[in-house]
């Protein structure tokens, strides 16, 4: 069932969205050479606990996973792109890290993802990250009353096509609100003018993700982490967006970041709240 949100309910989702944006900004600053994924996981646990929020991932057990997810953030490295299970891995120079986070604050959920390069960035990695970010902005731009769900999918697909990246349609965006996953499903490839008519109050998590040279995926032995089938590198960008009478409202927009604020060591990471 698709539930349209009132302006007051959208504002409550915006509270959750601002917190998600804050956490992902922090993860981007802390992701550095020598930082362990488990340290990032535990740091985010502490932030969630101090805020009085709830992780939407902890104990999440969908049909495609293996048992309940027992972490609060998805951290995917290089050819991994979705549902990355945080594990004992130390980030290296040139790694590509995708971080995906959904939390509930006072019963309302927001979901967002970003991809960053650790240390020295290769141009081809920056290019695929840029492609997902541009695809996301194109999708947000058409998320307006009277347009169709297919217009969003077509906008994402058009950017991917221009960059030369294939698109997998097994996982995409989704409705969001009181829970992390609501209707409708939002494919990252589709035809304009088709599908559900967009109405004010519809809230969506839009999330283009691409791999460089394949649209096929494989799962790690952990049953969660999804990788490109050919080992090519990946990127993932996501925002929670509310359709309003006026312009689309991005509920998880991050503040512009100053590179000078990036952490230069793992010393800022705290595990005391794990």
Reported as a single tens digit per residue, the pLDDT across 198-209 is: 999 999 999 999
- 3-class DSSP assignment, residue 145: coil
Reported as a single tens digit per residue, the pLDDT across 230-274 is: 999 999 999 999 999 999 999 999 988 766 555 444 455 644 444
Query: Domains of the chain: which residue ranges?
Result: 7-263
Task: Flag whether 95 is marked binding.
Answer: no
Q: What pLDDT does 264 receive?
A: 47
Q: What is the DSSP string of 213-239?
A: S-S-EEE-TTS--EEETT---EEE-BE
Rounded to whole angstroms, how far apart are CA atoms 189 and 140?
A: 15
Residue ranges in the chain modelled with pLDDT below 50 = 263-266, 270-274
CATH of 7-263, one of 3.90.230.10, 1.10.510.10, 1.10.10.10, 3.30.70.3340: 3.90.230.10
Task: Flag whether 9 is marked binding.
Answer: no
Task: Flag whether 230 is marked binding.
Answer: no
Task: Flag whether 264 is marked binding.
Answer: no
Task: Flag whether 207 is marked binding.
Answer: yes
Rounded to whole angstroms, how far apart are CA atoms 80 and 218?
A: 9
Task: Flag whether 222 is marked binding.
Answer: no
Q: What pLDDT does 67 receive?
A: 82
In order of 21, 101, 207, 255, the CA distances from 168 in angstroms are 26, 21, 12, 30
Q: What pLDDT does 269 receive?
A: 63
Look at the block and give the residue holding tokens 């982490």.
225
Rounded to whole angstroms, how far apart are CA atoms 133 and 113?
A: 10
Phi, psi values for residue 238, rounded to 5°: -150, 140
Contacts of 272 (CB under 8 A, 6+ apart): 46
């Amino acid at each position: 069932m698709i539930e349209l949100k009132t302006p007051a309910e959208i504002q409550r989702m915006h509270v959750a969205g601002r917190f998600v944006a804050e956490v992902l900004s922090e993860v981007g600053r802390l992701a550095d050479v020598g930082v362990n994924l488990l340290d990032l996981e535990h740091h985010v646990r502490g932030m969630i606990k101090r805020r009085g929020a709830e992780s939407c991932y902890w104990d999440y057990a969908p049909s495609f996973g293996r048992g309940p997810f027992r972490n609060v953030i998805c951290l995917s490295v290089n050819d991994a792109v979705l549902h990355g299970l945080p594990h004992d891995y130390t980030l290296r120079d040139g790694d590509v890290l995708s971080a995906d986070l959904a939390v509930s604050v006072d019963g309302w959920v927001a979901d967002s993802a970003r991809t960053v390069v650790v240390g020295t960035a290769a141009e081809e990695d920056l290019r695929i990250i840029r492609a997902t970010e541009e695809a996301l902005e194109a999708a947000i731009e058409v998320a307006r009353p009277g347009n169709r769900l297919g217009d969003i999918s077509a906008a994402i697909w058009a950017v991917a096509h221009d960059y030369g990246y294939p698109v997998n349609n097994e996982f995409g965006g989704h409705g969001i609100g009181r829970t992390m996953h609501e209707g409708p499903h939002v494919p990252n490839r589709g035809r304009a003018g088709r599908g559900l008519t967009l109405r004010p109050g519809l809230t969506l998590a839009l999330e283009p993700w691409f791999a460089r040279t394949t649209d096929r995926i494989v799962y790690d032995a952990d049953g969660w982490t999804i990788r490109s089938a050919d080992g090519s590198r990946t990127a993932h960008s996501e925002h929670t967006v509310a359709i309003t009478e006026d312009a689309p409202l991005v509920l998880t927009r991050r503040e512009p970041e100053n590179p000078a604020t990036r952490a230069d060591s793992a010393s800022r990471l705290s595990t005391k709240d794990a």
